[in-house]
């Protein structure tokens, strides 16, 4: 199957107990499936040539904040003197995440991670295990190779603006049974598995951890999480997984490349624990050499809006658990006799080059669920511009970012 493309103007995906709804405004084309999937839709943006040209050239003009989140903070030349303003810029289901706002700044000066039971002051691990609100920044650009998964405490912001921070070549970040987390403007890539063991997860607790699967970011039983302007690729398992009743999550302005299973929301098709999950995915660029799960959604409520999908090999957006979808999506994980009863409706899509969509279920689903949107969608023709600066930003102190 060849490389596939589409721009996502608006995609609302709801799974309530055993149901899901997706509402996009997209441009689509359909190809034959040679991987045994029931239906696969390859989706084509209106202006992908210009998008590739934009991303291929470094922008050197004045500050250009092209979506509602970035417009809140990016073009202020004094952003470094008011870093915590970022906490008021969240949108979507993760908008309540304030991170370390109101707490002290913690400056990471040491990129080492060779003692996961008694981490040294100045390391990222020492910062995230503190039990008070902290806004974590970095003294300089650095690559941090985590020896074991980085287990965070609540009320933290990891803010990589002004430097280039890479979490790479080691373990990933674990957000487990906590709340109020912002991770902003860092690179996460080449994450590998680790053998587990005794790991400190707070200033007053060390616990035994089983082997880690190698997710870039694992969200487990947590709420009020905002992941923004991350550049992510090449993790052993998923780039971002959210499971076990995690909710109140926004993933925005990220750039994803070079990976198989990108985003997973919900652990399995048989559990009911994720039925109240709420996730927003907005203004992201799903780029080169991706395969599937952008995202893969199970029980819960998922709002996908103004994302740019330029490449994938298998499918982009997938649903299961008797999904009800108002959409032009990519993959139903069930036999045709089952998915033909699910509500999948194309609403406001633009079809190019012989594209088509085969609807099923309730044709009035788009109208029924229209009131559930949290971020108002822009036209599909604007998506390439709105996601132009997705991923890590090369911010300089004293200048608009």
- Among 44-53, 101-110, 274-283, the range of highest mean pLDDT: 101-110
Digit-coded pLDDT (tens) for 286-323? 889 998 887 888 777 778 888 888 777 777 777 665 44
Digit-coded pLDDT (tens) for 111-146? 999 999 999 999 999 999 999 999 999 999 999 999
- Segment 87-102 shows an average pLDDT of 96
Q: Is the pLDDT of residue 282 over 70?
A: yes
82 C-beta neighbours (distance < 10 Å), count: 10
More confident residue, 59 or 390: 390
Residue (of 115, 105, 181, 113) closest to 139 by Cα position: 105
- Segment 349-378 shows an average pLDDT of 58
CB 309 within 8 A of CB 330: no
> Phi and psi for 49 in degrees, rounded to 5?
-60, -45
Please tell me the class of the 68-252 domain: mainly beta
More confident residue, 183 or 363: 183
Residue (of 9, 36, 35, 12) closest to 23 by Cα position: 12
Q: Is the pLDDT of residue 246 over 60?
A: yes
DSSP 315-366: -SSEE-SS--B-S--SEE-S-HHHHTTS-B---S-EE-TT-----BS-TTHH
Q: Is the pLDDT of residue 15 over 70?
A: no
Q: Which pLDDT belongs to residue 139?
A: 98
CA distance to 38, 263, 313, per residue, from 334 (Å): 7, 20, 20
Q: Is the pLDDT of residue 47 over 70?
A: no
Tokens of 98: 């304030």
Residue (of 8, 45, 9, 113) closest to 355 by Cα position: 45
- Segment 87-116 shows an average pLDDT of 97
Q: Which pLDDT belongs to residue 307?
A: 84
Give the pLDDT band of residue 372 (cuts 50, 70, 90): low
Q: Which pLDDT belongs to residue 368?
A: 62
Q: For all residues of the chain together, what is the average pLDDT?
A: 79
Q: Is the pLDDT of residue 234 over 50?
A: yes
**Where are the CATH 2.160.20.10 domain residues in the chain?**
68-252
Q: Which pLDDT belongs to residue 46?
A: 31
Residues in the chain: 401
More confident residue, 353 or 166: 166
Q: Which pLDDT belongs to residue 377?
A: 77
Active site residue 51: no
Q: Which pLDDT belongs to residue 289?
A: 92
CA distance to 101, 215, 264, per residue, from 70 (Å): 18, 27, 25
| pLDDT > 90: percent of the chain | 53
- Segment 43-54 shows an average pLDDT of 37
Spatial separation of the C-alpha atoms in residues 358 and 371, rounded to whole Å? 24
- Segment 327-341 shows an average pLDDT of 46
Exactly one of 209, 293, 298, 328 is catalytic; name it.
293
The pTM score is 0.83
Give the pLDDT band of residue 396 (cuts 50, 70, 90): very high
| pLDDT > 70: percent of the chain | 72
């Amino acid at each position: 199957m060849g490389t596939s493309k589409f721009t996502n103007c608006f995609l609302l995906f709801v799974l309530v107990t055993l149901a899901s709804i997706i509402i996009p405004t997209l441009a689509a084309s359909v190809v034959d499936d040679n991987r045994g999937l029931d239906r696969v839709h390859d989706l084509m943006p209106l202006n992908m040539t210009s998008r590739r040209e934009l991303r291929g050239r470094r922008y050197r003009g004045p500050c250009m904040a092209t979506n509602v989140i970035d417009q809140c903070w990016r073009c202020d030349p004094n952003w470094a003197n008011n870093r915590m303003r970022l906490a008021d810029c969240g949108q979507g289901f993760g908008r309540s995440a304030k991170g370390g706002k109101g707490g002290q700044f913690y400056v990471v000066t040491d990129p080492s991670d060779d003692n996961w039971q008694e981490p040294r002051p100045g390391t990222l691990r020492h910062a995230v295990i503190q039990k008070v609100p902290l806004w974590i920044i970095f003294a300089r650009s650095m690559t941090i190779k985590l020896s074991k998964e980085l287990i965070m405490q609540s009320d933290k912001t990891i803010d990589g603006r002004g430097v280039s921070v890479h979490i790479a070549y080691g373990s990933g970040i674990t957000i487990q049974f906590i709340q109020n987390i912002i991770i902003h403007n860092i690179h996460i890539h080449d994450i590998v598995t680790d053998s587990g063991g005794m790991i400190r997860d707070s200033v007053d607790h060390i616990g035994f951890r089983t082997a880690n699967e190698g997710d870039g970011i694992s969200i487990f039983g947590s709420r009020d999480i905002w992941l923004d302007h991350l550049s992510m690729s090449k993790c052993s398992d998923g780039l971002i997984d959210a499971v076990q009743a995690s909710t109140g999550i926004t993933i925005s302005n990220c750039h994803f490349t070079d990976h198989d299973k990108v985003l997973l929301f919900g652990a399995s098709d048989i559990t009911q624990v994720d039925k109240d999950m709420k996730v927003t995915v907005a203004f992201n660029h799903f780029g080169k050499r991706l395969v599937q799960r952008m995202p893969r959604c199970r029980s819960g409520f998922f709002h996908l809006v103004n994302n740019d999908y330029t490449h994938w090999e298998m499918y982009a957006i997938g649903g299961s658990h008797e999904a009800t979808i108002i959409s032009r999506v990519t993959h139903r994980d069930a036999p045709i006799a089952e998915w033909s009863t699910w509500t999948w409706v194309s609403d406001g899509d633009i079809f190019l080059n012989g594209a088509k969509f085969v609807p099923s279920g309730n044709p009035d689903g788009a109208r029924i669920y229209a009131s559930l949107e949290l971020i108002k969608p822009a036209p599909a023709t604007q998506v390439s511009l709105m996601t132009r600066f997705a991923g890590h930003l090369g911010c300089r102190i004293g200048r608009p970012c």
